[in-house]
């Protein structure tokens, strides 16, 4: 078993595995980015953030199967009493896939700024989405150039300049070859029918200005997950953990404290 690159903060019976988006990496959970790992650790939980295969210091290619296996390997390695999966965007899709394939693995889910489906892999909308996202790379701009073009369009209009810089810098560090594999993988994702089979505490965390995973999409997801909680963060877009870290982290910690605090 080859573990994904990761960092860990805090202690406790509950491990919270932090799963990043397609333009991210484990650094998005650091202090100075979102600070989510520290907020979770400070609340008495064990925060563990990984790089998916092909990201950061993790070897491999980010196919959906490989990303799921990275999560399963990490959970086995941690041997925590219980594990909560917190996935942002692509990470939320991976969390859903883990819940569908191995429902015994996760004691809880936080699905942030994500969706249950991009539709059929051969659908026209999906093909257009992938082509548009890859166009800057095809034009030779590289990941840094793509980040300059893409990030302003996925954050809230009132996102702080510092948040845009953080998001651009993190996306620029993603290898182009990794992004070219991961993007079609999520465009082919569809776990809509599996939502009703989720029977663990689940928080669906949306952002009011998210045009990539709009609140109405996430609210529909929540309506299909039995007993789930839904919360929409005002004044934030798709990278809500970086745009509004205090609100994002408070929502996550509150959920963890309601369902997983040790006696």
- Give me the residue label for tokens 């079609």: 184
- Tell me what pLDDT residue 122 has: 59
- 108-112 sheet: strands from edge to edge: 6-9, 46-50, 14-19, 82-88, 108-112, 202-207, 229-233
Answer whether CATH 3.40.50.1820 is correct for domain 6-260: yes
Six-digit token pair at 1? 């078993």
- Tell me what pLDDT residue 120 has: 57
Q: Where are the beta strands (DSSP E) in 38-152?
A: 46-50, 82-88, 108-112
- Tell me what pLDDT residue 222 has: 97
Write out the chain's pLDDT in tens, 263 residues. Answer: 789 999 999 999 999 999 999 999 999 999 999 999 999 999 999 999 999 999 999 999 999 999 999 999 999 999 999 999 999 999 999 999 999 999 999 999 999 999 999 755 557 778 888 888 899 999 999 999 999 999 999 999 999 999 999 999 999 999 999 999 999 988 889 999 999 999 999 999 999 999 999 999 999 999 999 999 999 999 999 999 999 999 999 999 999 999 998 64
Q: Residue 46 and residue 256: Cα distance in Å, rounded?
A: 11
Q: Residue 183 and residue 134: Cα distance in Å, rounded?
A: 9
User: pLDDT for 8-67, tens place per residue?
Assistant: 999 999 999 999 999 999 999 999 999 999 999 999 999 999 999 999 999 999 999 999
Cβ pair 164, 243 in contact under 8 A: no
- Tell me what pLDDT residue 177 has: 97
CA 260, chain centre distance (Å): 20
- The model carries a pTM of 0.96
| Residue 179 exposed, middle or buried by CB count within 10 Å (0-12, 13-18, 19+) | buried
**For the chain, what is the mean pLDDT?**
95
Q: Where are the beta strands (DSSP E) in the chain?
A: 6-9, 14-19, 46-50, 82-88, 108-112, 202-207, 229-233
């Amino acid at each position: 078993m080859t573990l994904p690159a990761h960092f860990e903060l805090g202690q406790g019976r509950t491990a919270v595995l932090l799963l990043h988006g397609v333009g991210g990496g484990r650094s998005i959970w650091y202090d100075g980015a979102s600070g989510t790992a520290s907020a979770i650790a400070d609340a008495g939980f064990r925060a563990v953030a990984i790089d998916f295969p092909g990201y950061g210091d993790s070897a491999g290619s980010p196919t959906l199967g490989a990303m799921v296996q990275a999560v399963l390997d990490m959970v086995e390695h941690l041997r925590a009493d219980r594990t909560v999966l917190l996935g942002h965007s692509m990470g939320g899709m991976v969390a859903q896939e883990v819940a569908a394939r191995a429902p015994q693995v996760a004691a809880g889910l936080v699905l942030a700024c994500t969706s249950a489906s991009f539709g059929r892999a051969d659908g026209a909308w999906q093909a257009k989405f992938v082509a548009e996202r890859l166009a800057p790379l095809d034009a030779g701009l590289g990941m840094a150039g793509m980040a300059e073009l893409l990030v302003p369009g996925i954050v809230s209009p009132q996102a702080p300049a510092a948040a845009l810089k953080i998001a651009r810098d993190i996306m620029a560090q993603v290898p182009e070859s990794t992004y070219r594999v991961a993007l079609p993988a999520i465009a082919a994702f569809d776990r809509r029918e599996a939502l009703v089979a989720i029977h663990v505490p689940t928080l669906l965390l949306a952002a009011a200005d998210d045009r990539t995973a709009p609140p109405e999409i996430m609210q529909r997801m929540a309506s299909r997950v039995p007993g789930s909680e839904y919360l929409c963060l005002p004044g934030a877009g798709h990278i809500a953990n970086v745009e509004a870290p205090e609100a994002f982290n408070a929502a996550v910690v509150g959920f963890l404290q309601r369902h997983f605090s040790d006696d």
